[in-house]
Chain A
Amino acid sequence: MNLHTYLVAVIAVACMSALPSAAQISAGCTGYAQSLTLSGDYPDGQAIRAQIGYGVGVAVAYRLLDDVEVTFEPSLDLRHGRSTETISTSASPSYDSTVATIRVRSMSIPLGVRIWSQAHTWVFTSGIAARIASSGMRTDGDGTEWSFTDALSQLEVGVYLGVGYRITIGNVRVLPELRYEQGISNVLRGAPVVGLPPAPILRTNGFSLRVACQYELGGGQ
C-alpha cells in the first residue's frame, strides 16, 4: 500500500466518522512549513541543519467537551536538511560548509488535543506525532544521490505542543498555529548510513508554522 492509498483511506475513515454527530465535528485541510532538524549522532565537526520543509493534509477535530477537542491531521510530509561540516582556517573565522542535503518524505499522523481559551479564540495544542517513513535521500555536494530509505524506521514517534488563534468566517474557521515538535524515537533503525557513525541515532525536533482551514459541520459555536 503506498502513501496515497494511505491518505485516501484515512480521509475516507475521517469523513465516515463525521457523519453520525456532525455538530461536534470540524473537517478541512491543513498546510504547513516546518523547520525540523535531525539531531543526534554525527561525525566529529558535522551537524544536520534544518531547512524549510512542508506538508499538506486533512484536519479533523471532534469536540469532546466545550473547550476540548480531539484532533487528527494526517498529511504528506517533507523534512529537509543539510549536513554541514565546520571548517576552521587560520586565515578566516570558522564557517559551516554544506556536505550534503537530506530529504525525508513520510506520512505524518498527528493525534492530539486542542484546549480552547475561555473566549474560544486562542488555543493550546498538544499530542503525539507519528510518522510512517516513505523515502530518504541524501545528495552530496558533487550531485551523487544516496537512498537511505531502507535505513529509516518504519514508524517514528514524537510529541508536540503549540499555540494557535481562531479566525471565524461563517461556519469556516481558520487556525494559524505555531507548533514545536520533539521526536522520541530514532528516525533510523540502526543500519549503516552514508556519512554517519555506526548505529546512529537521530531524532526530529523543531518548529512548524501551520494553518488549518476547517468547516464546522452542523454549524459552529
Chain B
Amino acid sequence: MSTSEDLALLRRYEPVFRYTRGEGFFPMDVAAYVAACSLWRYHPSEGAACLVPRGNLSLEDLAGPWRGNADTTLFLRFVQPLDIPALIRSLQQEPREARAFRPGRGRLARVGYTSRFLDLLFSLTLLARGRVPGATSAAAGIEYRRLVGEPDRHRYYGRVVREQGWTILQYWYFYAFNNWRTGFFGVNDHEADWEMACLYLYPGEGGVLRPEWVALASHDYSGDDLRRRWDDPDVQKVGDHPVVYAGAGSHAGYYEPGEYIMEVELPFVSPLARLAERARDSWRRALGGGRQWRPYEGRGFSLLRVPFVDYAQGNGLAIGPGQERVWAEPVLLTPTPDWVSEYRGLWGLYARDPISGENAPGGPMYNRDGTIRRAWYDPLGWAGLQKVAAPNVAATRVAERRAHLAERREALDAAIAETRRELEGVSLEAAAIRSQPHLLTLSATYRERIAGLSAELARLLQERAAGVAVADALEHYGERLESGYRGPLRAHLRRPLKPYSGQQLRTGRVVEGWAAVSVGLLMIGTVTLTLVYREHIILGLAALLFLFALVEFSVRGRLMRFIDTVAILLACACGLVLVWEFFWTLVTVAVVSTGAYVIWANVRELRA
C-alpha cells in the first residue's frame, strides 16, 4: 500500500481522546519539542555533559553520531526548574482550566495502615532517589504553552504494520511532560511521555479492511487484558473513531471514564509482599479446600503496596474528529524515520532514579535501556493477539487443524495397532519363560517391558480419544464461525481494568479525614508512649494499635471484618499455646487417630 493509503487508513480510524479537566499537557509535535531541548550525556564518573545546547537541536540531529556505551546515558533536557518567584508568577498566570481538577475520594481512604505507611516511605524515597524537581512541572507547563501557542496543534505519529493477516494501525502520541505526581497525586513525574493506541484490522468482504480489536497502552498492562473487541460495549466510538479516556497527568489510555486504582510495589518490600500473599493463599486454600475463595476476597489491594488513583474522568478537553479540537496532519512512521530508529536515548531528563519512574522514557521504538519495545517489534504479541487468527482466515485455520488432527489420528491408529501387537507378543514371551528358573532375571526384564508398553499404549489411546473429541468440537466451532460467529466477546480477559464504581467510592468524609491523619497520629502516639509510659511500652503499643485498628474498621463500617481478623489472630495464639502445653499429647492423639482411621478404612474395605 502507498503512503497516502496508509495515511488515509490512519485518519479513518484515528481515536478521539478525552482528557480530565485540569490536564495541562496534550499530544504535540515532537519537532517543536526537540527544538526546545538540549542534548546531554551522562556518565557515572564524569557526570552530565551538554552535547548540543538548547536552540541548536533538531529532530534530524537526534539521528546523529550520539552513540554511548554501556555506562553512558543520552538524554534530552526540556526545561530547568523555576526559582520561587518565577514559580509564584507561573501559578498566577496558570490557565484557569489547569486548576480545575477535582480529585475523587482520597486514595488513602481506600486502603489500610500498612499502605498508608508505605506511602509515607514512598514519598521519603523520592528524597533519596533521583527525581524530577518539584518546580519542573510548572516550568514545563509554561514552555509547553509557549511552544504550541493557541490554538494547540495536536499531532500523532502513525505506523501501519501488516502481519499474520492483520493490518495494525499504531497511533503514537507525544506529551512534553507527565505531571501525574505533582498535578494529580500520582506516582511519578517525568519529562516527555509516549503513549499509544492500536487498532487491528482484517480484510472483510471484498477485501475492505474492518477493525476487529482495539488496544490501549496503559501503565504495566500487557497481553490479553489490553485489548477489547471492536463490538465490545466498553469500546465507545464516535463514528468509526474509538474513544480513549486519558489518565490525568499519566496519559495512560482507558476505555471507560472513571477513577482507576494503581498499586506501586516498593522494591524493598517486595519479598514481604510475596510472603504475605503466600500466607494468605495458604490460609484460603486450607479453609477453602483449594477452591477459589471468592466471597472472602475482600479488597483487591495488597497489604504491602502503595495505592494511587489514575483519574480518567473525560470531563475536560476532547481531541479528535468532531470534537472541539482536531488532529493535525499525522506523521507516518513507516518507513521508520532515523530520529526514531537511530536515537536510543531518553526523550527528557535523566533523573537517575533507580526505580525508573522519574526518568524520561525512550522513544516510540525503544525502552529506557535502549532495547526495542515489544509494542514496536511485536504489536500482535503485545496485545496477546499472536495466538488469535484474523476472522477472515479463522475458518480456513479450522479446516487446516481438522486435517492435521485427521492425519494425526491415522498415525495414532497405526501406532496403536503396532504397540498392541508388540505388547501381545512380549506378553506371550513372558508367559513362556515364567516357569523357567534359569530365565528368572530375564523374566524381570520382560515385566518392565510389558509395563512400559502398556503405559505407551494407554498414552496413545488417550491422545487418540482427546484428538477425536477436539476434532468434533472443532467441526462444530468451524460451522459457527462460517455462520458469522466471532467467538466469545470477553473470554480473553483475565484481569481487565475497570474504574472504581460509585458504590466502591462511597466513603464518607469521616473516613477521608481519618485516613489523612491516622498515620501521623499513630506516630505521635508511639513517641508519646515511649516518653511517658516506657515501662509498659509493649502493652501500650498493643493497646494503641488495637485502638487505631478498631477506629479504622469502625469508620469504614467493617467492624465485623476486624473482629474476624482479631478472632483469627487469637485462635492462632491459642493454637500455639495448646501445642506448647500439650505437644506430646497432641502427637499421641494424632498417631492414635491415624491408626484408628487406618484400621477403620481397612476393615470397611474387608466388609465391602
* Same assembly: no
Report which B residues bind A (CB closer than 8 A): none
